[in-house]
Structure 1
Amino acid sequence: MSYTVSQLLTQDITFQPIEIKGWVRTFRANRFIALNDGSTINNIQCVVDFENTDEAILKRITTGAAVHIKGELAESQGKGQKVEIQVSSIEILGDSDPESYPIQPKKHTFEFLRENAHLRTRTNTFSAVMRLRSALSFAIHGYFNDNGFYHVHTPIITGSDAEGAGEMFRVSTLDAKNPPLNEDGSVNYKEDFFGKETNLTVSGQLEAETFAMSLGKVYTFGPTFRAENSNTSRHLAEFWMIEPEVAFMDLSGNMDLAEDFMKSVLGYVLEHNREDLEFLEKRLLDEEKTKPQAERSDMSLIDKIKFVVDNNFKRVSYTEAIDILKNSKPNKKKKFNYIIEEWGADLQSEHERFLVEKHFKCPVILFDYPANIKAFYMRLNEDGKTVRAMDILFPGIGEMVGGSQREERLEVLIEKMKALDIPEEELWWYLDLRKYGTAVHSGFGLGFERLVMFATGMSNIRDVIPYPRTPQNAEF
């Protein structure tokens, strides 16, 4: 019977004939194969009877080769594993050139592995990261399904800029060298495929709102795109967003939903992906030892996840947070890179982490932000200067979730759009929601890669997505 490595290491099937297929990680002493098939972080040892194995076959058992092994699962004679396979026959399914194979059994830099992204999941670190990414995705869909949400596929090609950021990728079929022009010399997009200028979406939120106002509870989970020319460890040009929207829910309900959601999906990987988390935690601890004492983290990876799952999130108004930060030691002693001087400042990651890790010592939800640093669709408070926005702050990373109660009043929304020069005719359908049965509604956005970074301890966002898209890089 054919098994996976995971099954062989967890099921009680010793002294039974088995078959397995996988890739050779190492082959030593012409006898011991460390085999992996991607089902687990762990390898299984396969013991070859080299005296009774064709020498031509032995020469082809090299790192990276794909093999089909038959034998018997037995209790291991050596240390480090409970069981091993006593090999009766071995077939080479695919050879690997030992001279040119990039993923040799040694330590590689992440930069080198990004250049070989098509093979990097053959390493322990990246196989663990991608298994965790898959588990988080499953947990997200499971959570929303269990809580009565409907999954909505919002458009990838759009004529609107949901965030007002203006950094969007254009979608066009016009001749790049000789596009049709208007009399004033501008490109005539009426002759383009869609008859208007279109772009790749930066968010599915606005379209999700239309479904929430008929289906009640919906969510999107899809690719989004930002043409921001930023080459940092936190930015991608293509990434995935989770965006739930709920009718008849106010800001307080939105905070309840987001907290429960985050605890649930992170709790899922704590329960189901322990071996991968333990491996990544050890990798992080080894990495921490090379850093100066002042730069080392106070919490291990698993403790950081438990910190979110086990603690109640502290809810603090932006105004209260500004007072705390203004009077904090790092601010008074000018230790912050960005000194907090007055109300209205846009908080940076260092401020958010201080509130979570030093001051409250639990995850924090900030709410009621200044209107002028938040998006047009957020509900204006009665004070006329703040909006019903909320951000969830986590240890080690700062902002994890951003959301708000949406502006449901037609007149107020129109005024906000005018102030930001957003044409009514561009979002006429969005305004219709406020004309026909408007109601309080709320939602939030979570960058999936940021969540994967938090759950894996990876410090560069390019290492938590299969093929990163960044400025000057669209390889693979």
Structure 2
Amino acid sequence: MKGDFFSLDCSLLEEKLVRKYVQSISLNNSKARRRTARQTRSRAPRCLPVPMAFPLSPSAPLRLKPYSTLRLLALCSSNPLSKPRPFPPSAAAFAPRRPFPPPAAAPRRRCLCTAIAAALRSGEAVEAKKSELADPPRGEFGGRVGEFRKRLKISEIKGGPEEGLGLVGQTLTVMGWVRTLRAQSSVTFIEVNDGSCLSNMQCVMDSDAEGYDQVESGLVSTGASIWIQGILVASQGSKQKVELKVKKIMLVGKSDPSYPIQKKRVSREFLRTKAHLRPRTNTFGAVSRVRNALAYATHKFFQENGFVWVSSPIITSSDCEGAGEQFCVTTLIPSSGETTATPIDAIPKTENGLIDWSQDFFAKPAFLTVSGQLNAETYATALSDVYTFGPTFRAENSNTARHLAEFWMIEPELAFADLDDDMACATAYLQYVVRHVLENCKEDMEFFNTWIEKGIIDRLTDVVNKDFVQLTYTDAVELLVKSKKKFEFPVKWGCDLQSEHERYITEQVFRGCPVIIRDYPKDIKAFYMRQNDDGRTVAAMDMLVPRVGELIGGSQREERLEYLEARLDDLKLNKDTYWWYLDLRRYGSVPHAGFGLGFERLVQFATGIENIRDTIPFPRAPGSSEF
């Protein structure tokens, strides 16, 4: 009888020891059997059963020790899930070690699905569980990781031109949260949403459905999470093409009666106090999906055009804008325990009574970044075209619908480029991402068009199709002065244009067409912008769009070292802090340009949401850092 359990590579084993051992365990006299048993008990691991006999047919010189052979066979025979496996290539794997626990069952891919399958004891979920448990363990411990499978979402069921009619008759599984539940005399309607789209899946069930007692007892209520399996059928109603005829339902997580988001509409101000639950509403679910689409399109645009994504630092000692509105990062104030009770004397000071920054974590003042632009410029002078996309912070004490203390910025930098290249890139980018949203978020955009801003789809379509207009700052001021319109903030050359001025230009003068204003006075712009030949203006530009005003701000950067140093002196900025930035002008400086785009303002523009705090999951503003 040849090896039924496994085959050995006998060329590596010592024949004498193993053959002697094989013969000893097959002896018929009782004394030899007792002696063999005693040897086995003294050598074998205590937690493994020891077979009395086993098939082995060595055909070459063997070097395996009797103890190792016996232990290997005990492993094979003690695991009911084991299948024949080839002998490991190294005998070192069977070196003596401490007793080990019995093999664990193969890990499951999704714990939630495992629990549901075990509870239902039937259907495809149970079959999936059986097939995964049947997988043999790999090695002495554990088993293989299950294959990841994309779960079927409601957006896939109801999407496409047929809106789900092509799947009628199939048995489907839906997991999500209950939006509404209506119980009638003979049938119960449950609206389920999984966040993948605006539409709910209407589930129709009668008392014959498995798990109906959970509905009847009131456990399944608005806000609860459930697992439903049923057959997709054509809907009897007019609001949807298909619905799910429920065969089984399981409550995954119940919802307390205090759940604050019921069918009755609530204000957005109230929902800001429930930011952890507001994504379950139609409005904020749609905003989240459009925000995701814009982020995806942003990366796609720059990657397709040869840009390299660069991670800019969050903590910095530089002030890109030179405005001083930064959040300080320090460890001089204790960061644990009762920080509110920290005495002011605990902060180290110099002999002059000033804060001793040398004792801080970074040995100098450090801040949360207001922009990743300066860092992006360093990589643009090596990789040509780069972009950053990350969080930035402004310590402006402004409680308005247009400002956030924490927001995300998109900042590309183009090497060997001037202001005209910069404007062309900004225009192409905006048209690209807006087109992507219109083509891929149609249901959400219809929702915004109906409930948030009527005409938003036409407005965005104009952005995609119309040519952008450019004019100088001087011409823009002249237009505003000649309009005879009374503005809250008077207009004159040298002033910074306000939102009301910007919106008037793009909405009234140019009838909804995006406008780029260029060549601003240097006194109202940052130190890094390239000075024009007139000595009064810089090569800067702002892109204005309807309803928002300024959406993008950019410039050609000052690549001339002497001009940059003079500008830092004029603004009384410490050149030692920007030593590395000045080095870029010393070693192979090139003309380059870039722009910055506040991502939340882009979301505002694309959704019609009025308050910028409703465009980001957890808004940060003066007096607001909850969640």
TM-score using structure 1 length = 0.94
Alignment map for 1:364-403 (pairs within 5 Å): 364-403=515-554
1:420-456 Cα shifts (integer Å, max 9, x gaps): 0011111000001111111110000000000001111
Q: Is it true that 1:465 corresponds to 2:623 in the alignment?
A: no
Partner of 1:50, secondary structure, is: coil
Q: Name the aligned partner's letter for residue 439 of structure 1.
A: V
Aligned position for 1:67: 226
Q: Is it true that 1:7 corresponds to 2:165 in the alignment?
A: no
| Cα distance between partner residues in 2 of 1:51 and 1:246 | 65
Aligned position for 2:407: 239
Aligned position for 1:102: 260
1:92-139 Cα shifts (integer Å, max 9, x gaps): 001012x20011111110011011110001000000000000010000
Aligned position for 1:294: none
Q: Name the aligned partner's letter for residue 451 of structure 1.
A: L
Q: Is it true that 1:117 corresponds to 2:275 in the alignment?
A: yes
Structure 1 residues not aligned, in runs of 5+: 286-298
Alignment map for 1:57-206 (pairs within 5 Å): 57-58=215-216, 59-97=218-256, 99-175=257-333, 177=343, 178-206=346-374
1:286-309 Cα shifts (integer Å, max 9, x gaps): xxxxxxxxxxxxx61111211211
| Cα distance between partner residues in 2 of 1:281 and 1:329 | 33
| Structure 1 runs (4+) greater than 4 angstroms displaced | none
1:308-356 Cα shifts (integer Å, max 9, x gaps): 11111101011111111111131xxxx211222x321211111111111
| Cα distance between partner residues in 1 of 2:567 and 2:362 | 28
| Cα distance between partner residues in 2 of 1:339 and 1:197 | 38
Aligned position for 2:179: 25
Aligned position for 2:377: 209
Q: Name the aligned partner's letter for residue 510 of structure 2.
A: F
Partner of 1:60, secondary structure, is: coil
Range 23-32 or range 376-385, more displaced = 23-32
1:382-407 Cα shifts (integer Å, max 9, x gaps): 00000000000000111000000001
Aligned position for 2:557: 406
Q: 1:430/1:56 Cα in 2 relative to 1: closer, same or farther (>3 Å)? A: closer
Aligned position for 1:295: none
Partner of 1:242, secondary structure, is: strand
| Cα contact 2:370–2:394 (8 A) shared by 1 | yes
Q: Name the aligned partner's letter for residue 169 of structure 2.
A: F
1:50 aligned to which of 197, 202, 207 = 207
Aligned position for 1:291: none
| Cα distance between partner residues in 2 of 1:28 and 1:225 | 46
Q: Name the aligned partner's letter for residue 60 of structure 1.
A: L
Q: Percent identity?
A: 53
Which structure has greater strand proportion?
1
Q: Name the aligned partner's letter for residue 507 of structure 2.
A: E
Aligned position for 1:36: 193
Q: 1:57/1:360 Cα in 2 relative to 1: closer, same or farther (>3 Å)? A: closer
Aligned position for 1:321: 476
| Cα distance between partner residues in 1 of 2:281 and 2:426 | 34
| Cα distance between partner residues in 2 of 1:307 and 1:354 | 17
Partner of 1:85, secondary structure, is: strand
1:359 aligned to which of 509, 515, 532 = 509
Q: 1:284/1:54 Cα in 2 relative to 1: closer, same or farther (>3 Å)? A: closer
Partner of 2:263, secondary structure, is: coil
| Cα contact 2:206–2:212 (8 A) shared by 1 | no
Report the Cα offset of residue 29 of structure 1: 2.2
TM-score using structure 2 length = 0.72
| Cα contact 2:214–2:251 (8 A) shared by 1 | no
Q: Name the aligned partner's letter for residue 394 of structure 1.
A: V
Partner of 1:425, secondary structure, is: coil
Aligned position for 1:261: 429
Q: Name the aligned partner's letter for residue 6 of structure 1.
A: S
Partner of 1:20, secondary structure, is: strand
Alignment map for 1:286-305 (pairs within 5 Å): 300-305=455-460
Q: Name the aligned partner's letter for residue 462 of structure 2.
A: F
Partner of 1:369, secondary structure, is: strand
| Cα distance between partner residues in 1 of 2:539 and 2:587 | 22
| Cα distance between partner residues in 2 of 1:396 and 1:222 | 25
Partner of 1:137, secondary structure, is: helix
Report the Cα offset of residue 51 of structure 1: 5.3
| Cα distance between partner residues in 1 of 2:493 and 2:280 | 50
| Cα distance between partner residues in 2 of 1:15 and 1:366 | 58
Report the Cα offset of residue 357 of structure 1: 1.2
**Number of aligned positions between the proteins:** 457
Partner of 1:337, secondary structure, is: coil
Q: Is it true that 1:306 corresponds to 2:461 in the alignment?
A: yes
1:347 aligned to which of 491, 497, 501 = 497
| Cα distance between partner residues in 2 of 1:181 and 1:336 | 49
| Cα contact 2:214–2:220 (8 A) shared by 1 | no
| Cα contact 2:177–2:223 (8 A) shared by 1 | yes
1:247-285 Cα shifts (integer Å, max 9, x gaps): 100000000000000000111000000100110111125
Report the Cα offset of residue 359 of structure 1: 1.1
Q: Is it true that 1:224 corresponds to 2:374 in the alignment?
A: no
Rg larger in 1 or in 2? 2
Partner of 1:417, secondary structure, is: helix
| Cα distance between partner residues in 2 of 1:6 and 1:235 | 34
Report the Cα offset of residue 228 of structure 1: 1.0
| Cα distance between partner residues in 1 of 2:509 and 2:523 | 27
1:25-61 Cα shifts (integer Å, max 9, x gaps): 0000250001100011000110011355643433212
Task: Return the structure number with greater relative CO, CA threshold 8 A, min gap 6.
Answer: 1
| Cα contact 2:297–2:436 (8 A) shared by 1 | yes
Partner of 1:3, secondary structure, is: coil
| Cα distance between partner residues in 2 of 1:400 and 1:337 | 21
Partner of 2:167, secondary structure, is: coil
Range 110-119 or range 175-184, more displaced = 175-184
Q: Name the aligned partner's letter for residue 113 of structure 1.
A: L
Q: Name the aligned partner's letter for residue 93 of structure 1.
A: V
Cα-Cα RMSD: 1.2
